Amino acid sequence: MKTETEFRQDIIEIGKRVYNKGFVASNDGNISVRISDDEVLATPTGRSKGFLTTDQLVKVKITGEKLEGYLEPSSEIAFHLRVYRLRPDVRAVVHAHPPVCTAYAVAGIPLDKPVLPEAVVTLGCIPIARYGTPGTEELVEAIQEIIPRCDAILLENHGALSVGPDVFAAYYKMETMEHFAHITWIATTLGKVNLIEGENLQKLFELRRRFGLGEKPLCDVCTVPLERRAQPEETIHEPIQTDDEIADIVARVTTKVLEALNG
Ligand code: 13P
């Protein structure tokens, strides 16, 4: 078990990484770590995550009361605490606004297609939590609907959230999510996104099981209505008809041609 000093240093390190990677601008984003059953260390509100010092972090009870710190905790502390209460396996939460992920969240397109092995194995699928005003109970409720089943989620018209057993694991999920979003975006602009399917997909689920990550279905939890993501999905390369349907179309066309030829 790490000491509180080490937990503080870890948060400062991850703050630098999210800022230097461009996953946040200005004072955006927040990070927290559950340091014991009833204590959480969180970033302070309104400070750049790239330049924090360990003394600026705020300690709060899992029930929300401030325990220690001369600054106020993140305005999003309520959703961090809700995640810890819903997911005892989670010991760290990272919230950021990585540009490509956030663009998907703005476009209403979940990252729920099996496209890259790393993303399927480490993240499962990445749904979108419905929009909630930052810093309010609306956002807490939107997140709580999804977080029991996912470690990485998009926040509609806002950003992204990732969780893990420590703050490095949570941060790496944010990195993987942004990388996955970036590649998906480029492939989509190239005009073709081939999916990992059938036996190959089953093998990735098997890896998830072997790594103790569960076998999460790809994706039955997206809250964004299908019609709002119909357009981007048109570019995804999937069979439009089954073999039987194609045979039926060929038979019907053949009949019409023969009818025309026979007058
Ligand atoms: P805080 O500075 O209060 O953590 O807020 C930043 C943010 O990104 C809100 O969503």
Protein residue with least CA distance to atom 4, ligand 1: 74
Give residue 69's pLDDT. Answer: 98
Give residue 251's pLDDT. Answer: 75
Is residue 254 one of the residues assigned to a domain?
Answer: no
Residue 29 CA to ligand 1 center (angstroms) comes to 5
Task: Write out pLDDT tens, residues 219-230.
Answer: 766 665 555 544
Give residue 89's pLDDT. Answer: 95
Q: How many domains does the chain have?
A: 1
Is residue 80 one of the residues assigned to a domain?
Answer: yes
Is residue 245 one of the residues assigned to a domain?
Answer: no
Asked whether the beta carbons of 128 and 105 are under 8 A apart, the reply is: yes
- The encoded tokens of residue 184 equal 């998906």
Torsion angle in degrees (nearest 10) through CA of 95, 164, 120, 226 = -40
Is residue 243 one of the residues assigned to a domain?
Answer: no
Is residue 39 one of the residues assigned to a domain?
Answer: yes
Residue 75 CA to ligand 1 center (angstroms) comes to 6
Protein residue with least CA distance to atom 10, ligand 1: 134
Instruction: Give the whole-angstrom CA distance, residue 250 versus residue 24.
Output: 54
CATH number of the CATH domain containing 62: 3.40.225.10
Give residue 226's pLDDT. Answer: 52
Give residue 40's pLDDT. Answer: 98
Instruction: Give the whole-angstrom CA distance, residue 49 versus residue 12.
Output: 8
Give residue 239's pLDDT. Answer: 41
CA dist 221 → 64, 125, 217 (Å):
28, 9, 9
- State which residues of the chain have pLDDT below 70: 215-218, 220-246, 249-250, 253, 257, 263
Q: Which atom of ligand 1 is nearest to the CA of 134?
A: 10
Is residue 66 one of the residues assigned to a domain?
Answer: yes
Q: Quote the pTM value.
A: 0.85
Ligand 1-lining residues (CB < 6 angstroms): 27-30, 43, 45-46, 74-76, 134
- Range of the structural domain that residue 221 is part of: 4-235
Is residue 263 one of the residues assigned to a domain?
Answer: no
